[in-house]
Amino acid sequence: MKKKFYITTPIYYINDVPHVGHAYTTVAADVLSRYYKSKDEDVFFLTGVDEHGAKIAEAAKKAGVEPKAFADSLVPRFQEAWKNLNINYSEFFRTTNPKHEEIVQDLILELKDKGFVEKKKYTGVYCVACEKFLLPDELVDGCCPDHGTKPEEHSEENYFFLLSKFGDKLSKAIEAGDYEILPESRKNEVIGKIKNGLEDVSISREKVEWGILFPGDESQTIYVWIDALINYWSAQKVFNQDNIWPADIHLMAKDILWFHAIIWPAMLLALDLPLPKKVFAHGFFTIGGQKMSKTRGNVLDPNTLVEKFGADAVRYSLLREFPFGEDGDISEEKIANRYQSELSNGLGNLVQRTISMINKYEIRISKSETNSKSETRKISKLIEDLKFDQALQEIAGEITKLNQYIEENKPWELAPKGSLGWTKTDQTKLAEVLSHVHSGLVDITPQIAPFMPETAEKMKKQLETLEPDPLFPRI
Ligand code: ME8
């Protein structure tokens, strides 16, 4: 039987079209998914959208339509963006799926039955863009640190999940490695916060109508985050996937690590369900140092980027620029630079000139030794550790080396010189040189495949048929 690998992205709020930040997580998930598929694992890759709550209801109201109709109109925009980026997800989750709604209600009832739910009064400030209550010390000049907007005063009687009971259990689970929080620095942050004590969390909303009804008290709806987190679990039934739980990895940015690393595992512990194996929080794309967000309105549209540079170059540039766990600035200019230097002048040019010389000098290619096995192992390990930037740096290094090898060996000087003809030694040497580069390219092809699937396909074909076709034409 094949080994299963269950990977998830967050389900994105459907209040607007996706931007490059959403594309970043989704591309990373797709790279992992393609990588594990290439290792013949049974991959289930889940992405989707988060449709309930005040944030969506407000966006729908602004657009003058009902929330469900609003969500329906945006779903294709997400699916189209993922198609443009060549994202090969297994299923697309929608939280308005009736099966999911039923499962969410069942799990809440179970939490209640087990004594982990209590009704309490709560007063605090709420950021609708985050869909969460903010603590006074989180505010920057009275505003949400991520969105720069002023949170609303809320005072209501809600049902609470008794998160405070789970601090010790969570700490033990983290220490025992039952589930891993990555990168390490984030794990330490989470452990620190648990040590400071966990507060119970509200799991219902009194004044939000657009949501799943709270079982046993229909005057309230289920807090959108609780509804959303359960998607990872309910996907099993929604898509008839037996035995995929626990998730092998939940991917997200650091903004929502708390929900994934604390609240979600605590709920699972309360329900006696297995914990996800890994939770990885990457950094933020920033524009001029500020988080890119729909609320701030400083977003880059992935579709426009794909139109300009093609899906593979965008996938490559997004993951190449800075370490996956850290923040980094992104711009069209940066993508254009990578395109030009590493893809067009680097890989594209290498493939093109190698094949042209093979054709021009009528060389018969023989299999040549390269050090690809250890290189491939190194790259595989980097992908498994989510060090995408380093994996791509390695690949870029191999390409540079092959280009240098050509410069050093100057195949054109070995070519027949006019009427002087061709010496046997030169002919043999030329075949050796070009075979070495050709073999190097054959080895690189599967290494780049998870990142640039289309390019890998084209390379494979061109290296077989020896019919060159520019991989990254000049823009
Ligand atoms: O939080 N840089 O949805 P969301 C990097 N519905 N990644 C970014 C980013 C940026 N500037 N902006 C967004 C939600 N992302 C909830 C999730 S899951 C049960 C519910 C990516 O639309 C990143 O993955 O606000 C981040 O965690 C996610 O989008 C937030 O998406």
Strands 42-50 and 91-94: parallel
- Of 372, 379, 339, 345, the residue nearest 438 (C-alpha): 372
The C-alpha angle with vertex 246 and arms to 103 and 90, in degrees rounded to 5, equals: 75
413 strand-pairing partners: none
Angle, helices 20-38 vs 302-309, to 10°: value is 60
**Which tokens in the block code for residue 350?**
């290498």
- Residue-wise over 156-178: b if at least 16 C-beta within 10 A, else e? bebbbbbbeebbeebeebbeeeb
Check if the beta carbon of residue 60 is closer than 8 Å to that of residue 40. no
Closest approach atom of ligand 1 to CA 229: 19
DSSP codes joined into one string, 326-343: S-EE--HHHHHHHIIIII
Spatial distance between the Cα atoms of 44 and 5, rounded to a whole number of angstroms: 6
Mean pLDDT computed over 113-133: 93
**CA 169 and chain centroid, separation:** 29
Q: Could you list the active site residues?
A: 19, 22, 127, 130, 144, 147, 291, 294
**Which tokens in the block code for residue 278?**
């890994």
Spatial distance between the Cα atoms of 84 and 307, rounded to a whole number of angstroms: 9
> Is-above-0.75 flag for pTM?
yes
- What dihedral angle (degrees, nearest 10) is formed by the CA atoms of 63, 65, 69, 75? 0
Within 8 A by CB and 6+ apart from 46, the residues are 6, 7, 8, 9, 89, 90, 91, 93, 231, 232, 235
Mean pLDDT computed over 135-146: 90
Q: Is 386 left (phi over 0), alpha (psi -120 to 50) or beta?
A: left
| Residue that has been written with the tokens 């021009």 in this structure | 360
pLDDT tens for 368-400 read 777 788 999 999 999 999 999 999 999 999 999
Say yes or no: CB of residue 255 within 6 Å of ligand 1. Answer: yes
Q: How far is the CA of 146 from the centre of ligand 1 (A)?
A: 11
Q: Return the residue whose CA atom lies nearest to atom 7 of ligand 1.
A: 21
Strands 278-282 and 249-253: parallel
pLDDT tens for 194-251 read 999 999 999 999 989 999 999 999 999 999 999 999 999 999 999 999 999 999 999 9
The mean-pLDDT minimum among 88-92, 461-465, 471-475 falls in 471-475
Q: What is the pLDDT of residue 450?
A: 98
277 phi and psi angles, rounded to 5 deg: -80, -35
121 strand-pairing partners: 157
Within 8 A by CB and 6+ apart from 376, the residues are 443, 446, 447
DSSP state of 213: B
* Domain boundaries defined on the chain: 4-283, 330-465
H/E stretch holding 398: helix 388-409
pLDDT tens for 3-53 read 999 999 999 999 999 999 999 999 999 999 999 999 999 999 999 999 999
Say yes or no: CB of residue 93 within 6 Å of ligand 1. Answer: no
Mean pLDDT computed over 173-189: 95
pLDDT tens for 260-290 read 999 999 999 999 999 999 999 999 988 877 7
Q: How far is the CA of 152 from the centre of ligand 1 (A)?
A: 21
Say yes or no: CB of residue 292 within 6 Å of ligand 1. Answer: yes
Q: Is the pLDDT of residue 316 over 90?
A: yes
Q: How far is the CA of 22 from the centre of ligand 1 (A)?
A: 6
330-465 is a CATH 1.10.730.10 domain: yes
Check if the beta carbon of residue 210 is closer than 8 Å to that of residue 56. yes
Check if the beta carbon of residue 131 is closer than 8 Å to that of residue 249. no
Mean pLDDT computed over 96-113: 98
Spatial distance between the Cα atoms of 317 and 343, rounded to a whole number of angstroms: 10
Say yes or no: CB of residue 53 within 6 Å of ligand 1. Answer: no
pLDDT band for 291, please (50, 70, 90 cuts).
confident
Check if the beta carbon of residue 475 is closer than 8 Å to that of residue 336. yes
Check if the beta carbon of residue 94 is closer than 8 Å to that of residue 76. no
| Residue that has been written with the tokens 């190698």 in this structure | 354
4-283 is a CATH 3.40.50.620 domain: yes
Strands 221-222 and 204-205: antiparallel
Three-class DSSP category at 106: helix
Q: Is the pLDDT of residue 418 over 70?
A: no
What does each C-alpha distance from 433 to 310, 376, 397, 407, 428 come to in angstroms? 32, 22, 19, 11, 9
